[in-house]
Amino acid sequence: HLCFLLSLLYYLKLLKLYLFKRSTDQQLRIKVVYDSSIDNLDPEKKELVKDKLFPRAIDYLQKAFQVRKHAGPILLGRQCATNLYLRKKDDPHRYCQGACAENSYCGPILVPKEHLQQCMVCADNGKYWGPRGQPDGVGILDADFVLYVSGITTERCGQENIVAYAAYCQLEDALDRPVAGYANLCPNMISTQTQEFIGMLSTVKHEIIHALGFSAGLFAFYHSDDGKPLTRRNANGLPPFNESLGLYQWSDKVVRSATRLWDISGNRRLRHDVYLLVTPHVVEEARKHFACPILEGMELENQGGMGTELNHWEKRLLENEAMTGSHTQNRVFSRITLAIMEDTGWYKANYSMAERLDWGRGMGCDFVMKSCKFWIDQQRQKNQKLVPYCDALRSTPLQLTCRQDQMAVAVCNLQKYSRSIPQEYQYFDSIPGVAARDLPYYGGSVEIADYCPFTQEFSWHHSGEFQRTSDCRIVENQPGPSRNYAAETYSPESICLHQRTPFVMEQCTRRIIYPDWGSGCYKISCSAQGLTVWVHGTRHLCSRAGQILNINIQMNHWVYTGSLVCPSCFDFCRACPPEHDPPPANASRSIPLDPCSSSAGLVVTLWLLIINVVPVLVGFLLCA
């Protein structure tokens, strides 16, 4: 018998396996199996994982994807005692040389015996090929994918900022679709803070999507819509293996390389090599998103090392898309991510589940195919905003601004590194206050975004302890009365507004101007009159974008004075009246509040009293 060595990519048997036609796709069914380590977590973390994070993540993914059904339970192949796997020609089974291992694992998780198929061995010098030992278990019923979930402090958890990681561990034989995978949450990184729940939830979704198909290790196993492999197979039924990458080598129907002309500092231009995901739905969605009809595909991450590189979208181009390689802010699962899952050939995407991605939307070919320096220089020449990039050095005091969608206070993440950054990512010809010799040390703080600087939300910490984030919509981010320096309101109805001037807090004998200013969170509402900004219950109607609102209110025994810039009503309200100049200021409301009194200015009040009393006195004297 002719047999072949098989890598650690495991295939499994599906009892009574058959595939339905594409027209009979049904909702994806994911079965979650919790490892005992989850029960050993702190009660609060255990409840978060089992009752909130995974149920919500699974619900989203099951609604987002349909899958070709199979009949019968899922049974996972046993691992071999020697890690040497054999295949027999024209036989889908995987055989162990001599014996199977006592235990089989999916990632770090022990697979229950009842989920395993019978051990298949090649013994007696190749004379015997067949089953040995315990019979098939009952398997996993009524599921298309089984996800094993653990909370184990592994060596990988020791790496910086690793919250969780996941992967597939077995594929079915007919279409190579992953049917088993794992997700491990690093216990010390599980946050039960209310403000961080959305971030934790997006992390769980992100990791499960990796296990379902968005993985460089699976690119070579993608299929076309009609079920044919997009990458050729060798005689052993597997794609060619790329030793240098440690991956099965995909064809150019899935991923291609390209070279970009890349502008850097000093009027220099380099050749910048990228990898592009070029499957049909991804190309279609990427072209639509960026409004670039000549875009060849969606760029994959080229930095971050093993596990990040090639396994995510390029951070520079899709910054807050959930399938980029780091969590910076406001993660969303866009149509482009749903498209790659559809292009695996294993799923059909429900695009109504896609979330709106503003980053890069409609910005054209120059944005998506050239360096951020080129984009920044072009915007400057046009006297336009650098959005989504920025060029304000992050320093003390902070120059606050708003996130691109105006849902969070943000700061430009341009910073100085302790070392010179790679030449192809040196973008600045000048930075105010920075010597020319130091410019190679400056770039955006997110390295995998090609060091491009952009506005980014942030968190406040006190003595190393997390306090709150800058997301305007989270009530728990509301600063306490003694720290609310700009009369802010954090609520589901709040947005980030730019401040024209810093806010001044005054009492009779005290005056505070907080050094970090530029934006803040304020509640808004929409009506037939347009967009209204509310500052501590005081209504301010915005008649047009850019209108300046002068704020003078009393709150928590302080008088607050400052000014805000009106946003466009059309950005936040469904119906808006035509923009027009605001009416002249009401004189009665122009009298500033006196920090030494609960009424308007003390001197003004005394003069009004005298003016009102004089006629009475005159009348009294005339009568006398």
Q: Is 312 annotated as a binding residue?
A: yes
Tokens of 63: 């609604």
Torsion of CA 79, 85, 91, 92, to 10 degrees: 40
**Omega before 432 within 30 of 0, i.e. cis:** no
How far is residue 459 CA from its own chain's centroid?
Answer: 16
Round to whole Å and give the CA distance between 260 and 274.
Answer: 7
Round to whole Å and give the CA distance between 398 and 400.
Answer: 6
Round to whole Å and give the CA distance between 332 and 405.
Answer: 12
135, burial (CB in 10 Å: exposed 0-12, middle 13-18, buried 19+): exposed
- List Cβ neighbours of 560 (8 Å cut-off, separation of 6 or more): 486, 487, 503, 504, 505, 535, 536, 551, 552, 553, 554
3-state secondary structure 509-539: CCEEECCCECEEEEEEEEECCEEEEEECCEE
Q: Are 109 and 154 in contact, with CB atoms under 8 Å apart?
A: no
Catalytic pick among 207, 299, 342, 488: 207
- List Cβ neighbours of 591 (8 Å cut-off, separation of 6 or more): 600, 601, 604
Round to whole Å and give the CA distance between 410 and 65.
Answer: 34
Q: Is 498 annotated as a binding residue?
A: no
Q: Is 206 annotated as a binding residue?
A: yes
Strand partners for 526: 531
User: What are the Cα distances from residue 483, in Å, to 148, 222, 470, 488, 493?
Assistant: 44, 54, 14, 10, 21
What's the maximum distance between 2 C-alpha atoms anywhere in the chain? 134
3-class SS of residue 22 = helix
Strand partners for 521: 496
Round to whole Å and give the CA distance between 186 and 158.
Answer: 9
Q: Are 266 and 214 in contact, with CB atoms under 8 Å apart?
A: no
Q: Are 181 and 167 in contact, with CB atoms under 8 Å apart?
A: yes
Backbone angles phi, psi at 104, to 5 degrees: -120, 145
Is position 102 annotated as part of the catalytic site? no
Round to whole Å and give the CA distance between 479 and 475.
Answer: 9
3-class SS of residue 416 = strand
Residue 62's nearest CA partner among 141, 144, 142, 139 is: 144
Q: Are 352 and 376 in contact, with CB atoms under 8 Å apart?
A: no
Annotation: binding site: 206, 210, 312
Annotation: binding site for Zn(2+): 206, 210, 312
Residues designated as active site: 207
